[in-house]
Structure 1
Amino acid sequence: MALFFMVFAACTVVINYLIDPYLMLGVERREGLNQGKVAINEHVRMSKAYHPTFGKWDTLIVGNSRVEMGINPTHRCFTAAGARVYNLGLPGAGVREQLEYALNIIYAQPVQRVYLSIDFVDFLLRRDRPAPGVEIDWSKNTGRLRYAFDGSGNNEYTWTSLVDHYRTLFSLDALISSIRTMALQSPGQSDRDDQGFNPGNDFRTSVAIEGPHALFAQKNAHAQEEV
């Protein structure tokens, strides 16, 4: 049983490493094997805390899901200028979280330009907004980022990074995600490309079946809940 466990554990680590289902390890993509990241939607925040560090960027696109799907970093307006662009859009993220992820890269790389999308929904009154006069602690961040908002080091980064990479390499959830990634390679599955862009492949099927109205109705309902 001990031998079986060790062999199974070793196979799990190897498979998860080769497939890299959450874009955490910078492994080369292979057509028909791990080109599309089928399970990435549930792990975007974890992925974009580490994935940008595998490249060198001078331009960041920052915002929420509309930016992540709406601005392609390989558009000719960027390529013509020779910009190295990473799309750091985070679905459902507020301005504070968006800026935390952006500053985490800016403190580590010589970023020259940041395109920040401002959504009016982000400035509606929310239940979790700090009360007037409450001092904000700028040294706190999401926990898995190397740098805090004010540029100070994150004391929890080493441990959090180990936990995240354990979840990516050694967990059964990651193994299931790797198997799904291999089995469900198709043009209609979820994905994030090597520059953080969401091509919206999974929405094409939804729009073809339900129409775009269903997606807008869902978003409007979610926005009303947050107000």
Structure 2
Amino acid sequence: MSNASHHHYLRKLGLAMLAGVLLVASVVVLADPYGLYGVVRKAGLNAEKPVPQHFRNEIKLTGARRLGATQFLVGNSRVEVGFDPDSPLLGGGAYNLGLAGTGTMVAVGQLRYLRSLGVTPARVIAGVDFHDALLAPGQRGGARRPPVAGAAKLGWRVESLFSLAALRDAATTFAMQGDREAETMTERGLNPLNQYVKFVRYDGYYKIFRQRAEENAASLVKKARGGLDREGLRTELRALVDAAASDNPGVDVHLMVYAYHAQLLALYEASGMWPRFEEWKRIVLEEAEAARTRYPDARIAVHDFSGFGEFNCEAIPGPNEKGTTQWYWEAGHQKPALGEEMMRRMLAGAPENGFGMALSLQNLEQDRRRIAAERAACAAAQPALFAEAQELVARAARRLEQER
């Protein structure tokens, strides 16, 4: 092959590769699977977006900035799937930054990143999770470092535009339009767990609750021989409130004890975790009290949505029943309908007693009496729920002994 022919071949190859790259980029920009470009958002074409599998934090932070959000819902999957930022209760300007499988320090990193860009939160609603403070035997405690938010870096932007994964997600975006059971994320960060509709249709609620209960029982039995990460819990709570309230007078900060279903709380009891749960609550309240001293112009509240009341003790359809639930997908994750009720109680003035009560060191004993009374009523109405929790914990304990 002559030099001229060789150069001609390389030029054609380069142009073909460039055309391919531009084609991929054009398809990704048109589909806009991560909501980054906003060239077009049309029903039936690309209005519904898939839940991102990569760069989740970067995509959410970018979305929050693009939409000019000033109210933030932060936490793990219990926030991500359970609180609709488009709720009229919030009055607009909200974004759900919740991320499945993450802890408090991810929320700290998110708020710090936004603050570094001049975003001043008017309201932060943060879920704090008892499970995050539990230590397995031999596990060391202490606060984790907040991840460095990479939303400002170029690398993820390039990969989210010029990659096979991005092209696949673009194709998924086009294909999922009109599918009401597709896994999706709204423009403001909610994952409504639409795919669970299909799981329920095929398996029923009992199987979903049962499977998650078995997983929780195994985890709790293992950690029952460990401890409570008191130092890490205190440090992370301080960092969370500081990230929201530092140099931000008048900010509205709501810390939530999640609305665990009665099934999960029964597992706490059966595994011997209840005293640890109560100690965890006290630490949260102590840190909230200290935060109010540091930030007297901020509004900082702790709301207790745990218990065995009318919402938490929702009946689980039996193994051969095709019934539905109004409030929960399974014991650890509520539906947005319950999230709406939780926000209503937080924002409209928390009740003095009951679900979502504003908790303090002064009324902690009252809260314990409230939960004890609810438990008695729930156990009378659904004794099988508590018996099953005992059975699952005993089975998990036997399995753990056999593995030793």
> What's the TM-score, normalizing by structure 1?
0.78
Q: Which residue number in structure 2 is paired with residue 24 of structure 1?
A: 36
Q: Secondary structure of the residue that 2:20 maps to in structure 1?
A: helix
Residue range with higher mean Cα deviation, 87-96 or 118-127: 118-127
Among residues 86, 89, 106, which one is paired with 2:115 in the alignment? 106
Post-superposition shift, 1:172?
1.4
Q: Which residue number in structure 1 is paired with residue 24 of structure 2?
A: 12
Q: Secondary structure of the residue that 1:86 maps to in structure 2?
A: strand
- Distance in 1 (alpha carbons) for counterparts of 2:28 and 2:103: 31
Task: From the superposition, tell whether residues 39 and 60 of structure 1 become closer, same or farther in structure 2 (CA, over 3 Å).
Answer: closer
Q: Which residue number in structure 2 is paired with residue 46 of structure 1?
A: 58
- Distance in 2 (alpha carbons) for counterparts of 1:143 and 1:222: 31
Q: Which residue number in structure 2 is paired with residue 179 of structure 1?
A: 171
Among residues 188, 202, 214, which one is paired with 1:209 in the alignment? 202
Post-superposition shift, 1:165?
0.9
Please provide the CA RMSD for this pair: 2.6
- Distance in 2 (alpha carbons) for counterparts of 1:50 and 1:126: 35
Q: Write the letter of the residue equivalent to 1:23.
A: G
Contact 1:88 1:102 in 2 (8 A): no
Task: From the superposition, tell whether residues 84 and 47 of structure 1 become closer, same or farther in structure 2 (CA, over 3 Å).
Answer: same
Post-superposition shift, 1:24?
3.3
Q: Secondary structure of the residue that 1:176 maps to in structure 2?
A: helix
- Distance in 1 (alpha carbons) for counterparts of 2:17 and 2:137: 48
Q: Write the letter of the residue equivalent to 1:91.
A: A
Q: Secondary structure of the residue that 2:160 maps to in structure 1?
A: helix
Q: Which residue number in structure 2 is paired with residue 2 of structure 1?
A: 14
Matched residue pairs, number? 206
Deviations 1:115-154 (A, max 9, x none): 111121111115896556xxx686x623515xxxxxxxxx
Task: From the superposition, tell whether residues 137 and 89 of structure 1 become closer, same or farther in structure 2 (CA, over 3 Å).
Answer: closer
Contact 2:60 2:189 in 1 (8 A): yes
Q: Secondary structure of the residue that 2:61 maps to in structure 1?
A: helix
Say whether 1:116 aligns with 2:126.
yes
Structure 1: gaps of 5 or more residues? 146-156
Deviations 1:98-125 (A, max 9, x none): 2211332233312111011112111111
Q: Which residue number in structure 1 is paired with residue 147 of structure 2?
A: 141
> What's the TM-score, normalizing by structure 2?
0.46
Task: From the superposition, tell whether residues 88 and 165 of structure 1 become closer, same or farther in structure 2 (CA, over 3 Å).
Answer: same
Contact 1:24 1:50 in 2 (8 A): yes
Deviations 1:25-70 (A, max 9, x none): 3444221221112352555333113221102122111111111111
- Distance in 2 (alpha carbons) for counterparts of 1:179 and 1:221: 36
- Distance in 1 (alpha carbons) for counterparts of 2:141 and 2:148: 21
Task: From the superposition, tell whether residues 49 and 76 of structure 1 become closer, same or farther in structure 2 (CA, over 3 Å).
Answer: closer
Say whether 1:61 aligns with 2:73.
yes
- Distance in 2 (alpha carbons) for counterparts of 1:137 and 1:165: 27
Larger Rg: 2
Say whether 1:85 aligns with 2:94.
yes
Structure 2: gaps of 5 or more residues? 1-12, 224-404
Matched-pair identity in %: 26
- Distance in 2 (alpha carbons) for counterparts of 1:21 and 1:99: 26
Q: Which residue number in structure 1 is paired with residue 135 of structure 2?
A: 125
Contact 2:105 2:144 in 1 (8 A): no
- Distance in 2 (alpha carbons) for counterparts of 1:114 and 1:144: 21
Q: Secondary structure of the residue that 2:42 maps to in structure 1?
A: coil
Q: Write the letter of the residue equivalent to 1:16.
A: V
Q: Write the letter of the residue equivalent to 1:59.
A: Q
Which structure carries more strand by proportion? 2
Q: Secondary structure of the residue that 1:117 maps to in structure 2?
A: strand
Q: Write the letter of the residue equivalent to 2:167.
A: L
Post-superposition shift, 1:220?
4.4
Q: Which residue number in structure 1 is paired with residue 181 of structure 2?
A: 188
Q: Write the letter of the residue equivalent to 2:197.
A: R
* Structure showing greater relative contact order (alpha-carbon pairs closer than 8 Å, 6 or more residues apart): 1
Task: From the superposition, tell whether residues 143 and 60 of structure 1 become closer, same or farther in structure 2 (CA, over 3 Å).
Answer: closer
- Distance in 1 (alpha carbons) for counterparts of 2:149 and 2:87: 33
